Amino acid sequence: MAQRPVILIVGGGYVGLYTALRLQKKLSRGRAEIIVVDPQPHMTYQPFLPEAAAGSVEPRHVVVPLRRTLDRCRVVTGAVTGLSHADRTATVAPVEGESFDLHYDVLVMAAGSIARTLPIPGLPEHGIGFKNVGEAIYLRNHVLARLDAAASTDDPEVRRRALTFTFVGGGYAGIEAFAELEDMARYAIEHYYPRLSPADMRWVLVEATGRILPEVDLDMAAWTVEQLTARGMELKLNTRLESISDECLVSTGDGDSFASDTLVWTAGTKPNPLLSATDLPLDGRGRVECEATLQVKGTPDAWAAGDLAAVPDLTSDDPDATTAPNAQHAVRQAKRLADNILAILDGREPTPYRHAYAGSVASLGLHKGVAQVYGVKLKGWPAWMMHRTYHVSRVPTLNRKVRVIADWTLASVFRREVISLGQLQDPRREFVAAANTGRTGHLPPPQPADHEQSRTPGAQAG
Ligand SMILES: Cc1cc2nc3c(=O)[nH]c(=O)nc-3n(C[C@H](O)[C@H](O)[C@H](O)COP(=O)(O)OP(=O)(O)OC[C@H]3O[C@@H](n4cnc5c(N)ncnc54)[C@H](O)[C@@H]3O)c2cc1C
């Protein structure tokens, strides 16, 4: 290996950021060069996305800027589009300009996962995912803009369609987004929309299996269903989304059909498809095959962890079991992975990764939650408090912890912000209209926020 090896980290999410942080802390400057490549200039703390969408936390505070945090690494903003580990070369497409090759000595593959979708008619045109901060901002503006649309029309069909919100997938990401956004919309209607009533809304969650929240025991999942149902929300279990038409007519497997301007897809993830453009060994599910030490199987100088890695679960009785794709493993694997790279550089043996899943905490709106940690089951306010305490202790950097706590404190004193910044969805519209007026002499009528984005997904949020 080179005197000053280049360590390339593909992805600056949970695994990428935590690995880089630990390496930059423990390696002296001359010892190695660390390069982190990610299309985004920030890491996203995904467990806070539902709260960001609901307005309890400022969206900027759920992301961690890579350049500021990784001040002793080289950060490249771009996507790795292919990789030959045999040649120790990755191809990078920067935000702008020609692709280029990056040569390295040690690889850390940490490019995470993407939404796992199905070939459902209308889904690509009308659906939106819930994995990044842009989607969270978009959905917040979109839901509030739908309340504005419903409150400003006398057409019952337009109103019903605007106030019907459909989610697909009942894992923790889906349930949290579903419950948090309903809670925000209910609050907004009760306080600021005298022409609307919470009973005018229809919130529908479609789940293909017979239960939600597979991360907790069945009794806790059943309790969560009861709580959400008591809020007037509908959970269609053992039901599939069949299609969504151009007129936003959603059809589900139970024969139901209803108009809905909102379709959020949270039905699971799959490993980043970038892996198929590499020479790393993949398992049947498209994940990188790893040893328990997080080394890529049969591939020297290559490591992987997180959502895209098949890591043996040494705490399971099943010899084929692998660790689940969640933040709990991602953070711990990153620490082990960094320490194992340091061990190899020092000529020591790497240590296998071992962690028994501790449990899960989920927020269901302000002061509501469900948690099951180390066998202890909590419901309602205590679970919600545990959710907040746990995640604020986990969000990287003191700066973000303080900002998130400040957001919560301000929201409790001044009430939460429920204003739609729909212009963010299309900031140039007004200027383009004004510029065109100069040409035609006619000023087009002003469009309300989110006018053209009356259906998801619309334009990308800023
Ligand atoms: C809404 C939501 C809520 C969640 N809540 C919880 C929770 O409460 N508890 C829990 O344990 N888990 C939770 N998770 C799951 C958890 O966030 C993931 O398991 C974790 O982020 C996985 O870490 P990772 O590093 O593998 O991937 P990520 O954190 O997703 O990082 C992958 C990184 O790779 C980058 N990337 C993608 N393509 C490329 C490319 N071609 N080149 C370079 N970089 C690339 C991405 O931009 C990203 O920064 C939640 C997930 C979501 C979506």
Do 344 and 322 contact (CB within 8 A), yes or no? Answer: no
Q: Are residues 153 and 256 in the same domain?
A: yes
CB-count exposure of residue 443 (10 Å: 0-12, 13-18, 19+): exposed
Query: Average pLDDT for residues 298-317, to the nearest whole number?
Result: 96
C-beta separation of 53 from 24 below 8 A: no
State the sign of the Cα–Cα–Cα–Cα dihedral 126, 127, 133, 139. positive
Atom nearest to 45 CA in ligand 1:
17
Q: For residue 449, give the nearest of 428, 430, 421 by alpha carbon.
A: 421
262 lines ligand 1 (CB under 6 A): no
- β-strands 42-44, 63-65 pairing: antiparallel
Residue 166 lies in a domain: yes
Q: Could you tell me the two tokens for 57?
A: 């936390």
On whether both 150 and 207 belong to a single domain, the answer is yes
Least confident of 52-56, 185-189, 255-259, 411-415: 411-415
Do 263 and 274 reside in the same domain of the chain?
Answer: no
64 and 129 share one domain: no
In a domain, 1, yes or no: no
Residue 441, domain member (yes or no): yes
Please compute the mean of the pLDDT values over residues 238-257 and round it to a whole number. Answer: 95
Structural domain count of the chain: 3
pLDDT for the residue 461: 34
Question: Per 3-state DSSP, what percentage of the chain is helix, strand, and coil (rounded to 5)?
Answer: 35, 25, 40
Average pLDDT over residues 1-16: 92
Summarize pLDDT for 202-231 with one digit per residue, the tens. 999 999 999 999 989 999 999 999 999 999
Domain check: are 260 and 280 in the same one? no
Query: Which residue is it, tokens 């599910």?
Result: 285
Domain-embedded: residue 418: no
Rounded-to-integer distance, Cα 364 and Cα 376, Å? 18
pLDDT tens-digit readout, 70-115: 999 999 999 999 999 999 999 999 988 999 999 999 999 999 999 9
- CB contact set of 111 (below 8 Å; sequence gap of 6+): 10, 11, 13, 80, 272, 274, 275, 308
Indicate which CATH number applies to the domain containing 58: 3.50.50.60
Task: Say how far apart CA 9 and CA 22 lie, in whole Å.
Answer: 12
Count of residues making up the chain: 462
Atom of ligand 1 nearest to the CA of 272: 38
Q: Is 451 helix (H, G, I), strand (E, B) or coil?
A: coil
Residues 222 and 183 both lie in one domain:
yes
Co-location of 262 and 278 in the same domain: no
Residues 406-415 have a mean pLDDT of: 87
Q: Do residues 250 and 378 share a domain? A: yes
Model confidence at 269: pLDDT above 60: yes
Q: What is the pLDDT, as a whole number, of residue 460?
A: 37
Could you tell me if 250 and 390 lie in one domain? yes
Q: Looking at the structure, do residues 136 and 249 belong to the same domain, yes or no?
A: yes
- Range 313-325 average pLDDT: 94
**Is 452's pLDDT higher than 50?**
no
Name the residue among 49, 43, 58 with its Cα closest to residue 409: 58
Q: Which of 295, 319, 345 is the last residue of a domain?
A: 345
Return the SS3 of 16: helix
Please give the distance, rounded to the nearest whole angstrom, from the Cα atom of residue 366 to the centre of ligand 1. 24
Does residue 19 contact residue 338 with C-beta atoms inside 8 Å? yes
The reply to whether 300 and 333 lie within a common domain is yes
Atom 9 in ligand 1: residue holding the nearest Cα: 327
Instruction: Give the C-alpha separation, 189 to 299, whole Å.
Output: 57
Tell which wins on pLDDT, 435 or 326. 326
Across-strand partners of 205?
A: 167, 235
- Condensed to tens digits (0 to 9), the pLDDT of residues 437-448 reads 877 666 565 555
Q: Cα(246) to centroid of ligand 1, in Å?
A: 31
The mean predicted confidence, pLDDT, of the chain is: 92
Q: Which amino acid is at 409?
A: T
DSSP 409: H
Q: Is the CB of 78 under 6 A from ligand 1?
A: no
Query: Does residue 388 lie in a domain region?
Result: yes
Write out the E strands in 45-73: 63-65
pLDDT the model gives residue 462: 31
Could you tell me if 366 and 179 are in contact, meaning their C-beta atoms sit under 8 angstroms apart?
no
**pTM for this one?**
0.90
459 pLDDT more than 90: no
Determine, yes or no, domain membership for 144: yes
Q: Could you tell me if 444 and 436 are in contact, meaning their C-beta atoms sit under 8 angstroms apart?
A: yes
Where does the pLDDT of residue 144 fall: very low under 50, low under 70, confident under 90, or very high at 90 and above? very high
For residue 13, give the ligand 1 atom closest to its CA: 31
CA distance 64 to 415: 25
pLDDT > 90 fraction of the chain, expressed in percent and rounded:
82
Q: Which residues pair with residue 109 across a beta bridge?
A: 10, 304
Same domain assignment for residues 71 and 208: no
Ligand 1 atom closest to Cα of 42?
49
Interval 347-367 mean pLDDT: 92
The predicted structure's pLDDT at residue 105 = 97
pLDDT at 411 (0 to 100): 85
**Best of 66, 81, 290, 307 for a ligand 1 pocket test (most atoms within 8 Å of beta carbon):** 307
pLDDT at residue 418 in the model: 77
Asked whether residue 193 is assigned to any structural domain, the reply reads yes
Q: What CATH number has the domain bearing residue 376?
A: 3.50.50.100
Decide which of 345, 369, 396 is a domain's last residue.
345
- Using pLDDT thresholds of 50, 70 and 90, give the confidence band for residue 406: very high
Pocket test for ligand 1, best of 8, 40, 49, 172 (most atoms within 8 A of CB): 172
Domain residues for the domain of 13 are: 6-115+270-345
- Kindly state whether residue 285 falls inside one of the protein's structural domains: yes
**Cα(13) to centroid(ligand 1), Å:** 6
Beta bridge partners of 224: none
